[in-house]
Every structure is written in C-alpha cells, then in structure tokens.
Amino acid sequence: MGEPMKKTSCQIACWAMGAGAGFVAFVMLMALGDWSFIQAVFGAAVVFIVLGGLLSWILCKPLPALGEIKAGMDELDATPAPKAESVSAPVAAAPAPVAAQPASAAPVAEVKSAEVKSGTLLEGEKELASRKGNWSYQAEAAPAPAATVTSKPKAKTEATAAPVAAAEGAKPATLTAARGGQADNLKEIKGVGPKLEAMLHGMGFYHFDQIAAWTAAEVAWVDENLTGFKGRATRDDWVGQAKILASGGETAFSKRVEDGDVY
C-alpha cells in the first residue's frame, strides 16, 4: 500500500505543478501577448499537459531496490574475463621449385662484336675531324616580305544605257472613231472579251478589216502594247479570225457569240 500511495502522491504533485505553470502561461499570454481568450486557454493547456507529463515521467519513475543493485554488481564481478586466444601465424608455403628450362637443341650462333679500342678513329671520323672548326651554322636569311600591291579602285564609269524602244514592231494604221459611227463586234474574235474590245477601241481599232490587214511586225506591236494581255493576238490568231469575219464569214466562236452563249 505504501508504494502505490507514494507514486500517486508524486503524480498529483507533478500535475499540480503543470497546472500552475499552465495558469501562469495563461495570464502571461493574456496580459503581454495579443492572444485571444481561446488561444490563451489552448496555450495554457499545452503547457499543463507537456510539463505535467514530463515531471511525472521523470520524478515518479520507481527506482530499483538497493538489494537488486548489489546483486547486479556481484554478478558482473563474478563473470570471468574472456581469454585471449593465441593466433598462430600461418606457415609460409615453400616456394614451388622453378622448372629448369630445357636447353635449345639448335646451336645458337655466336656473334662476335667488334672490339673498339679507346683512341681508335672509326671509318669516316678522320674526315669529320678534319672538317671540325671550319663548319658553322648560319641561319638562312629571312625572305624579304613581298611588297603588297594596292590596286587602285577603278573609276566607276556610268554607262549610259541605250534607250529601249518603247515597243517592238510597227504600229498599225488606226482610226479616231468607227466608220459610220458603228464598230464591228470585236468580241466575235476568240480571245477578245469586253475588256480587250474596249482596249482595242482606245488604241484606234474598230473593224475586222483593220485587224485582218495587220502584218507580222504590226501584230508584234499590238502584242507588246496589250497591257495585261501581251502576246494574246498571236496566241489566238486574231488576224486569221478577222479575215474570215471581214469577208462576211463566221467561225464556230463567232456563231456562239451571236447566239448569246458567250457574253
């Protein structure tokens, strides 16, 4: 009964000290810090639990009896010390006998080295000795640096380009207006649409017979001056079609234009 009572009293005292420390912590947190009431209570509870548990574990832990300590000491003294075992050094193994190398059956040719006596000049040394002192090393003269030739920049000659002819070929004969105020329907020529017909009128061409009379040079001039349609007169053979239409004939394309199938 005595031992449990002592242990209980010790624990009560430790937890009481923890409670006191928690109260002090609560007062300090409320007075000095900016803690709220709930925060201060939480902090005081942490101090109470930690400090009370730590003191209870340190101070209230039962100590071993004196008889048990003495018995343990006697037991340690009675334990004999381990004897050091002598370790015998391993005997070095005797080296294996070296096998005798068999003598080669073939006779070895003896090479007699020529004996050179001190002070004897070898072949060619006399000639070298006679030249000694007469020869000296002379460094080859460095070649003179090659003269750098600076070429003068050629004067820029402004070449005057020959004027390019405005147009190739010869300009055909033109009219200022359609004869009788009525122009032919140049759209009956395959390759001549409304835009090209207006361009031909602006150039002075209104009738089939005008186009039918163009020479090769005049066709070249027209090809060159058809803005956006260069070469069209030659590709679609305007002259050949115009000859048929000027003579009163018709082509498959002109018939389609008259029937309203094209424009």
Burial, 134: exposed, middle or buried (Cβ in 10 Å; 0-12, 13-18, 19+)?
exposed
Answer yes or no: is 224 within a domain: yes
pLDDT > 80? residue 52: no
Q: How far apart are CA 221 and CA 207, in angstroms?
A: 18
pLDDT tens-digit series, residues 199-250: 999 999 999 999 999 999 999 999 999 998 999 999 999 999 999 999 999 9
Contacts of residue 215, Cβ cutoff 8 Å, sequence gap at least 6: 170, 172
Answer yes or no: is 42 within a domain: yes
Answer yes or no: is 198 within a domain: yes
**Domain around 12:** 2-61
Which of residues 46, 61, 76 is at a domain's end?
61
Number of domains the chain contains = 2
> CATH number for the domain including 192?
1.10.150
Answer yes or no: is 212 within a domain: yes
pLDDT tens-digit series, residues 98-150: 444 544 444 444 444 445 455 565 666 666 666 655 555 555 555 655 545 45
* Residue 145: per-residue pLDDT: 54
* Residue 200: per-residue pLDDT: 94
pLDDT > 70? residue 13: yes
Which of residues 61, 76, 103 is at a domain's end?
61
The pLDDT > 90 percentage for the chain reads: 32
Tally the C-alpha atoms within 13 A of residue 211's C-alpha that lie toward its C-beta: 32
Q: How far apart are CA 51 and CA 23, in angstroms?
A: 12
What does the DSSP assignment read for 83-110? Answer: PPPPPPPPPPPPPPPPPPPPPPSSPPPP
Answer yes or no: is 167 within a domain: no
Of the candidates 226, 222, 225, 201, which has an alpha carbon nearest to the alpha carbon of residue 213?
222
- At 124, list the tokens: 């060619």
pLDDT tens-digit series, residues 161-212: 333 344 468 999 999 999 999 999 999 999 999 999 999 999 999 999 999 9
Answer yes or no: is 70 within a domain: no
Which of residues 35, 61, 87 is at a domain's end?
61
Answer yes or no: is 92 within a domain: no
Answer yes or no: is 68 within a domain: no
- Cβ atoms of residues 44 and 26 within 8 Å: yes
